[in-house]
Amino acid sequence: MTQHLTDSLQTPTGTQPGGWWRDAVIYQVYPRSFADSNGDGMGDLEGIRSRLPYLKELGVDAVWLSPFYASPQADAGYDVADYRAIDPMFGTLHDADAVIREAHRLGLRIIVDLVPNHCSDQHEWFKQALREGPGTPLRERFHFRPGRGADGELPPNDWESIFGGPAWTRVADGEWYLHLFAPEQPDFNWEHPAVQDEFRSILRFWLDLGTDGFRIDVAHGLVKAPGLPDLGRDEQLKLLGNQVLPFFDQDGVHEIYRSWRKILDEYDGDRIGVAEAWTPSADRTALYLRPDELHQAFNFHYLGTGWDAAALRAAIDDSLDAMRPVGAPTTWVLSNHDVVRHRTRFGGDLGRARAAALLMLALPGSAYVYQGEELGLPEVVDLPDEVRQDPSFFKENGQDGLRDGCRVPIPWSGTEAPYGFGPGGSWLPQPEAWAELSVEAQTGREGSTLELYREALRIRREHPALGAGDAVEWLAAPEGVLAFRRGDFVCTANTTTEPVAFAAPGVPLLASGEQAEPGVLPGDTTVWWQVTSG
């Protein structure tokens, strides 16, 4: 495989100095559900490559690919057996190289998913650790412990798995190993130098291949508190994101990101690290983004905020205030492969989902778009149990997850499933109503959600005030309405269902819904305005 670090990456327009990623719109591709090239019902890398022109035309700056590595798929690829190999289901390393090259040719950046907290129980190290038994060196690369109780029949501590049940599984020789997620996902011991070395090498492998950065899975989980102390309570899921836990958001993780940043900086072309970090506060998230650590972190606080003007304004202010001291851009996200699609979360109304999207895309910083949200896809809520694959579904206490409904393959064209997803079927059934939501059905259709996203991204690229900077200037607005100014641009979002009187602050540039009569903001609608004077 030849390197192509300096491939002719066009400079995207509208990017402010100081890094393409600061105001980038990053599109999340979930490989198994994006496009299937060979008809096995599973999306793949060649499918992605063939659809890159669609993403270029949509107007995004970068693409984040969820995992495509060799994996038994116990957690849809977040259980990696070989970090340097592609799962045959998705293609080959040659296909990955082709995706990166083609993306760069089109002026798109590629961010790959890195899963450093845990691997698959089919990873060579773990298999060897199991074979060689207690006390052998490979066991030290994971968290193996004897159990508690007279015969070691109880787990070593009281930690619960995020997917439900104990975070420990006992192996045949009597020892237990730690897995914060599924039993098929053993946690690495990040105190071990071999683990640290291995991941530095994996970073280089993908950087050498030309990737523009990494989305770092469970970035807050790598370091565990010394001695793996009990939490002393159950229902630990309720604590996630509310406090520092002995397995989440330990200060020691920052050492790791400082060492990774050095590697990223050795490469040309602004390679970035994006943290998936669930922390108790925006201030603690900002710690991951200090100048010698990572570049961005997902804004789960924003994702978790309802369609409510006061709550949104507070979340926006908190996020901007927290990132300013470390000089990192804020990010915004409404949907991803782990949560109920925002259209459904906000009550099912397409108009509201569109309004939420325009609000997000008007904010300063970087925005994440999850595949299919540009089509206005709702969550699929009626999947039969027998087709579901999400490991959290099968766990008694893990029902929280139920993540298959946002992972249904997206519709491209035609009137029947799989709607152009591929020449075969689709690994999850698609609803009948999706014919009219397909890319083909929405392309060129005035007022379609796809055309709204395209237009919003076009304006965002051409309008210097959008995406740039680290502040918004709030304007006085009636209850339930958000209004802010950024340079010669104003965004108004009416989060109520009723029309509200509001004097036009300029000339409308784009509206998420029907254009209102002058002086009225329709309910559940966001409007972008160009201020012409003063």
281 contact, one of Ca ion, ligand GLC, none, CB 5-8 Å limit per kind: none
Measured CA to CA, the distance from residue 142 to residue 119 in angstroms comes to 10
Q: Which of 181, 214, 453, 528 binds ligand GLC (CB under 6 A)?
A: 181
The one-character DSSP state at 525 is E
CA distance 355 to 417: 28
User: Which of the following is catalytic: 234, 265, 266, 432?
Assistant: 266
Partner touching 36 among Ca ion, ligand GLC, none, CB below 5 to 8 Å by kind:
Ca ion
User: Which tokens is 263 given?
Assistant: 């590697």
Q: Does 78 bind ligand GLC (CB under 6 A)?
A: yes
| Interacting partner of 361 out of Ca ion, ligand GLC, none (Cβ under 5 to 8 A depending on kind) | none
Q: Which does 374 bind (CB under 5 to 8 A by kind): ligand GLC, Ca ion, none?
A: none
**Nearest-angstrom CA–CA distance, 11 and 528:** 26
Q: How many CB atoms lie within 10 A of CB 426?
A: 21
Say which amino acid occupies 336. Answer: N
Contact 7, 459 (CB under 8 A): no
Question: 310, 356, 355: which is closest to 332 by C-alpha?
Answer: 356
CB nearest ligand GLC: which residue? 78
DSSP 189-256: -TTSHHHHHHHHHHHHHHHHTT--EEEETTTT-S---TT----S-S-GGGGTTTS-BTTBS-TTHHHH
Angle at 512 between CA 511 and CA 518, to 5 degrees: 40
Q: Is 40 in the site for Ca ion (CB under 5 A)?
A: yes
* Shortest distance in whole angstroms from residue 252 CB to ligand GLC: 19
Contact pattern from residue 113 through residue 152 relative to ligand GLC, giving x for each residue in contact according to CB under 6 A and a dash for the rest: --x-------------------------------------
Dihedral of alpha carbons 224, 118, 219, 332, sign: negative
Among residues 23, 44, 217, 374, the one annotated as catalytic is 217
Q: How far is the CB of 398 from ligand GLC (least distance, A)?
A: 11
Closer by beta carbon to ligand GLC, 62 or else 482: 62
CB atoms within 10 A of CB 48: 27
218 binds, among ligand GLC, Ca ion, none (CB under 5 to 8 A by kind): ligand GLC
- The token duo for 327 is 């000089």
Q: Which of 26, 32, 33, 36 binds Ca ion (CB under 5 A)?
A: 36
Note if 217 is an active site residue.
Answer: yes
Smallest distance from Ca ion to CB 410, Å:
14
CB 80 within 8 A of CB 115: yes
218 binding ligand GLC? (CB under 6 A): yes
Which CB, 62 or 511, lies closer to ligand GLC? 62
CA dihedral 210→212→218→220, nearest 10 degrees, is 120
Rounded CA separation 187/476 (Å): 50
Residue 96 or residue 297: which is nearer to Ca ion going by CB?
96
| Ranges within 247-286 binding ligand GLC (CB under 6 A) | 276
Select the binding partner of residue 140 from ligand GLC, Ca ion, none (C-beta < 5 to 8 A, by kind).
none
Decide: residue 361, CB within 10 A, 0-12 exposed, 13-18 middle, 19+ buried.
buried
Q: Which stretch binds Ca ion (CB under 5 A): 34-42, 63-71, 76-84, 506-514?
A: 34-42
Answer with the entry of Ca ion, ligand GLC, none that 158 interacts with (C-beta below 5 to 8 A by kind): none
Select from 23, 44, 75, 318 the one that contacts ligand GLC (CB under 6 A). Answer: 75
Strands (E), 247-329: 272-275, 296-297
The smaller minimum CB distance to Ca ion, of residues 40 and 455, is found at 40
Tokens matching residue 140: 């030290």
SS3 148: strand
The site partner of 44 among Ca ion, ligand GLC, none (C-beta below 5 to 8 Å per kind) is Ca ion
Site for ligand GLC contains 217 (CB under 6 A)? yes
User: Which of 9, 23, 33, 44 is in the footprint of Ca ion by CB under 5 A?
Assistant: 44
Q: Does 338 bind ligand GLC (CB under 6 A)?
A: yes
Q: Note whether 61 binds Ca ion by CB under 5 A.
A: no
Give CA–CA dist 183/394, Å, rounded.
Answer: 12
Q: Is 406 in the site for ligand GLC (CB under 6 A)?
A: no
Does residue 69 bind ligand GLC (CB under 6 A)? no
Give me the residues that bind Ca ion (CB under 5 A), please. 36, 38, 40, 42, 44
**Catalytic residue positions, numbered:** 217, 266
Give me the residues that bind ligand GLC (CB under 6 A), please. 75, 78, 115, 181, 217-218, 276, 337-338
